[in-house]
Amino acid sequence: MNQDFSIVTLLLNASWVVQVVVALLLGVSITSWTAIFRKIFSVKRIKALNETFERDFWSGASLNELFAAAAQNAKTSGPMERIFASGMREYQKLRERRINDTSTLMDGARRAMRASYQREMDAIESNLSLLASVGSVSPYVGLFGTVWGIMHAFTGLAGMQQVTLAKVAPGIAEALVATAIGLFAAIPAVLAYNRFSRDIDRISIKLETFMEEFSNILQRNVSSTTMAH
């Protein structure tokens, strides 16, 4: 007699613990995929905004013009533009207080940019910990469901006098579905985590490089202003 070994049928016949484990893993998988798609669009947007601002920055426009544009685009600007704006804002505040010491001006601007950089990186790295947790924990949750299901299957066979493969197979198959779904949740999360980690590292390096280049420009600007006076 042929038995139905479809995943839906196996899950419907599984023990309630296995069903709870599978439901949990499916919920985690949906959450993980949602985070993955959001992060794909987020990283792509950040790269585009950074490239646009970097192109404008090196186009020859004055720092004051760029700062004015950054103030107008505060809600839609990218991380690099916001870091620039924070450094420029602190620099101008110190200049307004008649501070002409180069080291004081540069330290203030660098601290402001570093604080802005940390905020931007925290925002960019959001949901990465979720993907890491899903990738590392899901297989073990699925394995728990499998072990429990196999225990349940063998417990049910304890009272039988004659045990055949046909009687054992459905229970074991039901249990193994939990491991399969655990891997289904974990593998995309691990791949996405590795991909996003590389992308975010590149963004981080690019932002740090920009901060150094902008600091050098500010220092030259301070030096030329001091010499003029």
DSSP 113-133: HHHHHHHHHHHHTTTHHHHHH
In a domain, 153, yes or no: yes
In a domain, 188, yes or no: yes
pTM (2 decimals)? 0.82
How far apart are the C-alpha atoms of 25 and 39, rounded to whole Å? 21
> In the chain, how many domains are there?
1
Range(s) of the domain holding residue 87: 7-224
Could you list the pLDDT tens digit for every one of the 229 residues in the chain? 455 556 667 667 667 787 888 899 999 999 999 999 999 999 999 999 999 999 999 998 888 899 999 988 888 899 999 999 999 999 999 888 887 777 888 899 999 999 999 999 999 998 899 999 999 999 999 998 888 888 877 776 666 666 565 666 666 777 788 888 999 999 999 999 999 999 999 999 999 999 999 999 988 887 666 554 5
Token pair recorded at residue 39: 């992060």
In a domain, 229, yes or no: no
Token pair recorded at residue 8: 């839906």
In a domain, 2, yes or no: no
In a domain, 215, yes or no: yes
* Cβ–Cβ < 8 Å for 145, 67: no
In a domain, 161, yes or no: yes
**How many other CB atoms sit within 10 Å of the CB of residue 48?**
11
In a domain, 1, yes or no: no
